[in-house]
Structure 1
Amino acid sequence: MITITAPGTVKLDYGPMQMIIAAQGESGPLSEAARQAALYAMTILAELAEYRQIAAKPQQEIAGSANLPAALKRMIAAVQTSGDTTLTPMAAVAGTIADLTADWLAAHGAVKAIVNNGGDIAVRLTGTQTTRVGIAPAIGHKPTHMLALDAGQGIGGITTSGLGGRSFTKGVASAAVVAGATAALADACATSLANATYVEHPAVKVAWAEELDPNTDIRGHKIVREVGLLPPAAVEQALRQGYSKADDLIRQGLIAGAAIFVQQQLVMLPAGFVTEIK
C-alpha cells in the first residue's frame, strides 16, 4: 500500500518492507515522483524475492554475479567491501533498496531525496540542500541525537543495527549507527559493528539463529536474543570493542562515522559526529 502522507512524501507498506520516501525538486515537493519511486522499490523487492536462496548464501559460496539482478550485485559488493566474511548479502538488503530508490528519485529530478527503509536511510542532496537525521539510542525509540548533513560531506547512507531490529545481531549494542557513502555499505558495516559489541555475561542470552528463525540466512551462527542489566565493566568492554571496530572501518575509508549505544551509554567517532537534541 502506498499512502501520500505530506506533499512530496509517501509511505510504502509492502510485505516485509515499510518505507518512507520524501522527494523535493527545484520547484518544490515531488509527490508523484515519490509515488513512482515507491512502485519502483516494490519491483526491486519482488525481483530479489526470486533470488532469496542466493542472497542468503555465505558470500564465499556465490560463484559469480553476471546474471544476477543489479540489487543483488550491490548487496554482494557491499558485504564483500565491508571485509566481514561472516555476512551474507542479506546484511545489505535494506540499505541497497533504499539506495536504488533514492538514486531513481535523483535521476527523475529530485534535488533532495530521503528514503527511510525501516531505519536504513539513503540520502541524496545536491547544491545547497541540507537535512538532519535523528539518531535513537535503541531501535524503535525516540531520537535523542541528530546528524546534520549537507551535499559536500559525501554521505549517502545512515543505517542502524542492534538489538530489537528486523535482523538478528550477535552483539549487545542497542543501536550501532553508521554513516557512509552508500546505504548498502553502511548497512553491512553497521551489522558488523553491532556484532563486535558482544560480551560474555550471564545477563546476555544467546541462541542458534535457526532456533528462532528456521529460514534465517545465518544458520549455525549464535545470536543474542536477550540482554539484561549489564554491570558498568561489561558495558565499557562492549563500547570499547565497538569503538575499536568503528575506528578500523573509518581508517579503511569504509565509513564516515559511527555512534554506538549500549544501555544508554554512547561512544562516537569522530568526536562530535552526532549532537544531542536539546
Structure 2
Amino acid sequence: MNPTRTRLDSTRWHWQHGPIDLILSADGVPQAVQAAYEACWARFVDVLPELVGELKRLRQPVPAEAALNDAELQGSVARRMWSACHAHRARYITPMAAVAGSVADELITAFAREGISRAFINNGGDIALYLTEGQQYRVGVFADLASFSPVRLSRDQALDANLTLDASLPVRGIATSGWRGRSFSLGIADSVTVLARNAAAADAAATMIANAVNLEHAEILRRPASSLKDDSDLGDMLVTVDVPSLPQPLIDFALARGVEAAQRLLEQGLIEGAALFLQGRVRIVGIHDTSGLLKQRAQITTEAPCSKYAAC
C-alpha cells in the first residue's frame, strides 16, 4: 500500500501508510506550516519500510541487561521505541509497545521550526505535541474505548473530562491503552491514559500500567495472543478478550494494582500523570486538574474540528 494524504480542512491532514494512521494539525505562518508539512511527509513515507526492515528485532523482548547499542537497531524510530521500553525492562516488554508514540514523536520534529506556533500528530490515539511559549491544546478524554467512534463525534459532544496542556507544562505526549483498545493487553483496564514528556514514553507506560490493572477471576476470558494474531510480539502470552461485570471490591483491587505501577513510574520521572478506568470507576495519579471527573473509560481527542478520522 502506498502512503496517502488527504486534507481535512485548512489546518488538518489525514495521512495513512499501512497500519500507520495519522491526523496532523499545525498553526503558524502559512509558508512555515507548508514547509513543515512537506518535511514531515518526506520523512513519513520512509517510516513504515524502515520499521518493517527491523520488525523481527522489534518484536523481541527488551533484555534486562541490554543497552541501546546492544540492540543493533538502525532506524531512528526503532531506536526511539527501544529506548522508551528499556525503562520497563524488568517486566516483559517489546519495543512494539511504543511504536505508535515513537512514530508520532519522530514526525513532530518537522514542526520544530521558526514560524510554527503549535502542532499535534495523533497516531491512532497516541499524540505528540509541539507547543511554543504561550500556546496550548485542550485535550478531551472519552472513557469508552469500545464505543468511541470519531464518525459520531461532534465538537459539542460531552466529554468525560478535559484538561488544558500549555507550553509551560512538560507534557508533550499522550497515550491510551487497555483491553478494549486496538492492541492486546494483559490486564483488564478499560483504559489507561498517560501523560509524559513524549509520546513514546507515554505509549510504553500506558501499556505497562494497563497490564498492571489486573486480577484473577474465573469469568475473565483470556486467549493466547498468537491465536488471535499470527505475528503478535506477545507470542503465546494470555491476553484479555472479555471481562464480566465485576463487584466493586474487585474493581477497586485491580485499580489499586494499576495505581501502584503508575505511582512507581511517576516517582521515577517516566510519566507526568495517569488516569485509570475500569467499569465506571477511575483512579488519578499525578493529575490534579480533574474538572468534569471521568465517568467511565478513556480515549483522547484534541480540540480540532472532528471528522471520521479525528483522534481514533
SS at match of 1:30: helix
* Aligned ranges 1:115-134 → 2 under 5 Å: 115-134=121-140
* Distance (whole Å) between structure 2 residues aligned to residue 193 and residue 95 of structure 1: 16
Deviation at 1:35, TM superposition (A): 5.5
Moved more, 236-245 or 89-98: 236-245
SS at match of 1:60: coil
8 Å contact 1:258–1:273 — kept in the other structure? no
Out of 138, 145, 153, the residue aligned to residue 139 of structure 1 is 145
The RMSD of aligned alpha carbons is 2.2
Deviation at 1:131, TM superposition (A): 0.6
Judging changes above 3 Å, is the alpha-carbon distance between structure 1 residues 28 and 160 closer, same or farther for their aligned structure 2 residues? farther
* Aligned ranges 1:21-170 → 2 under 5 Å: 21-26=24-29, 30=33, 33-34=36-37, 36-60=39-63, 64-66=70-72, 68-107=74-113, 109-139=115-145, 141=148, 143-170=159-186
* Distance (whole Å) between structure 2 residues aligned to residue 168 and residue 7 of structure 1: 35
Moved more, 81-90 or 1-10: 81-90
- Structure 1: any 5+ residue segments left out of the alignment? none
8 Å contact 1:4–1:31 — kept in the other structure? no
Judging changes above 3 Å, is the alpha-carbon distance between structure 1 residues 194 and 36 closer, same or farther for their aligned structure 2 residues? same
Task: Give the corresponding residue for 1:8.
Answer: 11
Deviation at 1:84, TM superposition (A): 4.6
Deviation at 1:120, TM superposition (A): 0.4
* Distance (whole Å) between structure 1 residues aligned to residue 41 and residue 246 of structure 2: 41
Deviation at 1:157, TM superposition (A): 0.3
8 Å contact 2:226–2:235 — kept in the other structure? yes
Deviation at 1:180, TM superposition (A): 0.5
Judging changes above 3 Å, is the alpha-carbon distance between structure 1 residues 8 and 34 closer, same or farther for their aligned structure 2 residues? farther
Deviation at 1:132, TM superposition (A): 1.0
Out of 232, 242, 261, the residue aligned to residue 216 of structure 1 is 232
Deviation at 1:203, TM superposition (A): 2.9
Task: Give the corresponding residue for 1:193.
Answer: 209
Judging changes above 3 Å, is the alpha-carbon distance between structure 1 residues 251 and 273 closer, same or farther for their aligned structure 2 residues? farther
* Distance (whole Å) between structure 1 residues aligned to residue 262 and residue 165 of structure 2: 20
SS at match of 1:82: coil
Deviation at 1:221, TM superposition (A): 1.4
TM-score, normalised with respect to structure 2: 0.83
8 Å contact 1:125–1:150 — kept in the other structure? yes
* Distance (whole Å) between structure 2 residues aligned to residue 227 and residue 29 of structure 1: 48
Task: Give the corresponding residue for 2:298.
Answer: none
8 Å contact 2:273–2:287 — kept in the other structure? no
* Distance (whole Å) between structure 1 residues aligned to residue 96 and residue 45 of structure 2: 17
- Structure 2: any 5+ residue segments left out of the alignment? 154-158, 295-312
Task: Give the corresponding residue for 1:249.
Answer: 265
8 Å contact 2:105–2:198 — kept in the other structure? yes
Deviation at 1:188, TM superposition (A): 0.4
8 Å contact 1:10–1:35 — kept in the other structure? no
Aligned-residue sequence identity (percent) comes to 32
* Distance (whole Å) between structure 2 residues aligned to residue 203 and residue 67 of structure 1: 41
Deviation at 1:67, TM superposition (A): 5.2
* Distance (whole Å) between structure 1 residues aligned to residue 19 and residue 115 of structure 2: 28
